[in-house]
């Protein structure tokens, strides 16, 4: 599963639509302090189904919406689209006919957030499982936040184990088992 493009609109400091092409190999993001580099990574984590406001450096889920500046009024919605190359056919059966997956997450003030994959409305769980199976989920150790290394060193063994499980790709299986047990 390869990420090929990230598109943001109204997300944090990205008030106007912005597109980031992700070519094969290494992509570097450079810029002065406060220009939005970390916000881009947060957008990536958010579209993959992150639900913890803390991991997105906000107090509540709506804090990801552009809050306005002296010169621009606040927005009342934000959306992020992640384009994924599925030519290796690693997506779950339901989406696996498509070469390209467009995963969209939107949030509107007072209305919460919703998700779609290739235009079809899906649950947060579907998006989380799609990425957890590929070992790239919103909690994936592939995404390292500032301060996360020291957090990991002092973490409880259970929490450290969760990180290892996400890396090993078993987090999706665990989530499915939990879901099956609830039925």
77 in Cβ contact with 90 (< 8 Å) = no
Using the minimum distance from each CB to ligand ATP, give the nearer residue, 53 or 67: 67
Binding to Mg ion (CB under 5 A) within 7-46 occurs at 37-38
Q: Which of 44, 82, 78 is nearest to 61 (CA)?
A: 78
User: Which of 4, 5, 13, 148 contacts ligand ATP by CB under 6 A?
Assistant: 13
173: left (phi over 0), alpha (psi -120 to 50) or beta: alpha
Rounded CA separation 127/130 (Å): 5
Binding letters toward ligand ATP, positions 20-59, x by CB under 6 A: -----------x-xxxxxxx--------------------
133 in Cβ contact with 172 (< 8 Å) = yes
Rounded CA separation 95/159 (Å): 31
Q: Is residue 148 involved in binding Mg ion (CB under 5 A)?
A: no
Q: Is residue 10 involved in binding ligand ATP (CB under 6 A)?
A: no
Length of the chain: 183
If one counts every other C-beta atom within 10 angstroms of the C-beta of residue 113, the result is 18
Residue 36 binding result from ligand ATP, Mg ion, none, given CB thresholds of 5 to 8 Å by partner type: ligand ATP
Judge whether 39 is annotated as a binding position: yes
Judge whether 38 is annotated as a binding position: yes
The stretch near ligand ATP (CB under 6 A) out of 63-71, 79-87, 92-100, 111-119 is 63-71
Count of residues interacting with ligand ATP (CB under 6 A)? 14
Strands 120-122 and 2-9: unpaired
Residues forming the annotated binding site for ATP? 32-39
Interface ranges with ligand ATP (CB under 6 A): 12-13, 31, 33-39, 63, 65-67
């Amino acid at each position: 599963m390869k990420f090929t493009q990230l598109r943001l609109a109204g997300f944090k400091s990205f008030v106007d639509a912005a597109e980031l092409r992700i070519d094969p190999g290494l992509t570097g993001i450079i810029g002065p302090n406060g220009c939005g580099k970390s916000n881009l990574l947060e957008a990536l984590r958010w579209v993959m189904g992150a639900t913890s406001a803390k991991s997105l450096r906000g107090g509540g889920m709506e804090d990801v919406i552009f809050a306005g500046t002296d010169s621009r009024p606040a927005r009342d919605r934000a959306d992020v689209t992640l384009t994924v190359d599925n030519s290796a056919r690693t997506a779950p059966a339901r989406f696996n006919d498509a070469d390209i997956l467009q995963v969209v997450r939107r949030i509107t003030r007072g209305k919460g957030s919703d998700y779609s994959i290739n235009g079809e409305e899906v649950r947060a769980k579907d998006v989380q499982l799609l990425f957890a199976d590929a070992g790239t989920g919103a909690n994936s150790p592939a995404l390292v936040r500032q301060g996360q290394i020291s957090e990991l060193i002092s973490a409880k063994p259970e929490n450290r184990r969760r990180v290892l499980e996400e890396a090993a790709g078993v987090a999706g299986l665990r989530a499915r088992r939990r879901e099956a047990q609830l039925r």
